[in-house]
Amino acid sequence: MNVAVVGTGYVGLVAGACLSETGNHVTCVDIDEEKVRKLREGIVPIYEPGLEPLVERNLEEGRLRFTTDLPEAVEEADVIFIAVGTPPDEDGSADLQHVLAVAESIGRSMNDEKVVITKSTVPVGTARRVRETIEAQTDHPVHVCSNPEFLKEGAAVDDFMKPDRVVVGVDHPEAERVLRELYAPFLRTGNSILVMDVPAAEITKYAANAMLATRISFMNAIAHLCERTGADVDAVRAGIGSDGRIGPSFLFPGAGYGGSCFPKDVKALVRTMNDLGAPAAILEAVEAVNEAQKRVLLERIVARFGEDLSGRTFAVWGLSFKPNTDDMREAPSLVTIEGLLERGGRVVAHDPEAMHEAQRVLGDRIEYREKDYDVLADADALVIHTEWLQYRRPDLGRIRDALRTPIVFDGRNLYDPARMASAGFEYVSIGRPQPAGGPEIDA
């Protein structure tokens, strides 16, 4: 099948590469000429495990190509995915200007019947607006579908190649036939394709992300209760996660969620519900809890060292919002770092993949080290923000000896509190009792 994917961001690039891997001829379109030039050379602009070899292989075999020529790509395609960004507008709603601009260009370039699929995360009703925009530019028939993505950053290639389900919203049998054919190679193990009406598919994407965000915020609220009662949030998490009706996923307390999806999608869904007069109190609370949770580590550092952090140095392990990605969008680490800098603190940071992104955001206001242990020298504390594997079983003696004071603020609960105390650390985590036996250190 001839496929065009408009937009080579996170979603579009993964979708295009994976669709080409199953024998489709895929043309990925972007307006950024420099980005397209690099992609033609196999240079992938994002860190995503498994993506770069997938792009390189399908480029070499002629199934994948990159271009800035949207009209040509539309003319050659049977199926067109719209995968451009939908950043939050000032009021929190999804900004659809790029989606609708692509729809207008598709309409002007159509030479035959096409299936157009919105892959971008868009509010309910967007497919209708896309259809109206295309039909205003052409007399050729068009079928506009919704096919939301459920890719986890850090596992996106596996998620696309082996999906637990594929959701498609259609309003015509021909569109359903095309989508079933397109996704058949990914569903050979029996995982389902869920065909529904278009508005239901659009809502499903937002509802899924909002539910996962709700679980995280709920667990962070419970963590605060645990801290006030002396309970261990890990025990509570195990207790509720073993309930088959609940399950263990997305119940890890921490320093708040970030990334390109949850924050903006919760905001956009709240805005849509408010516009339509639907009660949104649950999701407004989810957002409020998360915004407060992003400040937890900073507040605990300030409580320990005081408001004036002049002369203090803080080592940071982890900058990306989650491991196995270089994505810094809405990363909780930024809240902590900005707060430390505002109070006169010095920050020295390490991340396996995100330091180039951090430099783009933070510039030279903080210092960067290529090796994780190199950030520790004479730091007043270690602050952990991302649960990269290389941070999970560190040499505690080496950390203790390198730090000026052996204090660890752990925003991801990586270590056992009793072990940290016996190793001579003052250890601050989320929702777990502070064990006795840690050092008494003057601030």
Q: Which residues of 147-171 are buried (b: 16+ CB within 10 A; e: fewer)?
A: bbbbbebbebbebbbebeebbbbbb
CA 152 to chain centre: 7
| Opening angle at CA 247, ends 244 and 248, nearest 5 | 145
The identity of residue 296, as a single letter, is V
Alpha-carbon dihedral sign for residues 420, 422, 428, 434:
positive
- Asked whether 67 and 4 are in contact (CB, 8 A), the reply is no
Sequence-ordered strand ranges (E) for 59-162: 64-67, 79-82, 114-118, 142-146
Element (H, E) at 405: none
Distance CA 226, CA 438 (A): 20
Question: How far is CA 199 from its chain centroid?
Answer: 24
Nearest-angstrom CA–CA distance, 213 and 219: 10
In the sheet with 165-169, reading across from the earlier edge strand, the strands are: 64-67, 25-29, 2-6, 79-82, 114-118, 142-146, 165-169, 192-196
**Which residues sit opposite 6 in a β-bridge?**
29, 82
286-290 contact pairs (CB < 8 A, 24+): 286/210, 286/213, 286/214, 286/217, 287/217, 287/263, 289/217, 289/220, 289/221, 290/213, 290/216, 290/217, 290/220, 290/256, 290/257, 290/262, 290/263, 290/266
- Give just the sign of the alpha carbon dihedral 294, 300, 302, 303: positive
Q: Say what the alpha-carbon torsion angle 159, 17, 266, 217 is, to the nearest 10 degrees.
A: 40
Q: Which among 18, 28, 226, 261 is annotated as catalytic?
A: 261
Show the tokens assigned to 338: 């900005």
Catalytic-residue membership of 28 = no
Active site residues: 261
